[in-house]
Amino acid sequence: MIKSFQDMLSAFRARQRCRFALILVLAGFLCYVVAFSVLCMKRYDGFNYGIDLGNMVQAFYSTLDGRILEMTVMGAEYNASRLTGHIELLYLLLVPIFAVFRHAYTLLILQTVALGLGGIAVFYLADHLLRDTWTSATLAFAYWLYPYLATSNFCDFRADAFMVVPHIMAWYFLARKQDRLFWIAIAAGMLAKEYAFAFNALLALVIWRDHKRKAVVLLGLAAAQIWLFTPLVHIMAGAGRLKPILEEQTRHYLGFDSLSSFGAHALELGRSFRYVSTILVLLLIFNVALFRFRSGLVLIIPLFAVLTLTQLRDSAPFFGGHHQTILIAPLFITLVEGVRRMRPAHRLRYVLLGVLLPAAAVTLLYPRTTLGGLIAEMTYRS
């Protein structure tokens, strides 16, 4: 009788801890959304956004007038649908919201909510795999403090932000063996942007051994998105001629057309490791937990190499730009899986000291991150 009562009491306490952790995560999500929405609106009021946000506001207004995502083409004397350059069909689902609140604020807040929801997705993924509520909650806060997240949030308005949650949830549904929801998540990522083909192809390689049939379908979807869906939408939107997206991505992202120029980029990549920012990113990405899930590195290393070359081509600060957004979901998927392979008694301490604190320190204190730069400006004294 006493043992039964003790078991009931333990179960009740466990539910209470779980409920409190969930409330804490939801509070963190609300704080993130409110704080970054206000910061984004302040940046907009201070004329700190570029032409991309203006083009997107124009595209949404044009859609309300019956011209699907039409905007002014930079360097040209005509307008064209944004679908001639990027396949961002998910925007069409956001048009009804914009129709009610017709302001750039609406797009900035929607982007903030989309990125903020990634923390809740990380929490549910970790809670399912780890069965450790507090470690899962800590990983969610590490997500919100990850340096690249703020960069993505402040980088105008981009469809990349809407890929993060579908990609995290795809792994969650895969782990729960919910096939229908898994494919819905994959489809949502593909609707967000054509770059999702890279995630699908790499995910196929990671799951090949245990889910061969799904892997084959993912590879087929990646190929179809490159050579069929994307060119077809380009043509239907008025692009005028067929442009295989793979060729365009190679030229745009890597910036090379020959092996000799690729060699020059590879040499420059080696030199770039001198920079402090690169080392800090590597310390955050290549840590103990990630190496415990070696298969997950297949998701990270190719994307990280491409994004590094992109930064070199654009001469952009390493924490600048929006291209790195596609790396966020693979990173946290691999991180959660790595933590799962640790001893349960060590997980929370590792996530606190090895993930959350370094992420917070770099994000808030390092002046080349977005938030670190803002804090440095506010505290600067001439």
Give the highest mean pLDDT range of 58-62, 85-89, 152-156, 372-376: 58-62
Six-digit token string for 340? 């799962």
pLDDT in tens, 337-363: 999 999 999 999 999 998 999 889 888
Check pLDDT > 50 for residue 259.
Answer: no
pTM: 0.86
Whole-number Å distance between alpha carbons of 212 and 143: 30
Ramachandran quadrant class, 42 (left: phi over 0; alpha: psi -120 to 50; beta: rest)? alpha
Whole-number Å distance between alpha carbons of 127 and 139: 10
Q: What pLDDT shows up at residue 304? A: 79
Q: How far is CA 187 from CA 48, 296, 329, in A?
A: 33, 21, 15
pLDDT in tens, 169-190: 999 999 999 999 999 999 999 9
Six-digit token string for 309? 């070359």
Q: Are 237 and 194 in contact (CB under 8 A)?
A: no
Whole-number Å distance between alpha carbons of 381 and 375: 12
pLDDT in tens, 38-58: 999 998 988 888 788 888 999
Whole-number Å distance between alpha carbons of 300 and 302: 6
How many C-beta atoms lie closer than 10 Å to residue 249's C-beta? 17
Tell me the pLDDT of the chain averaged across its residues.
81
Residues 6+ apart with CB under 8 A from 352: 138
Check pLDDT > 90 for residue 247.
Answer: no
Check pLDDT > 60 for residue 194.
Answer: yes
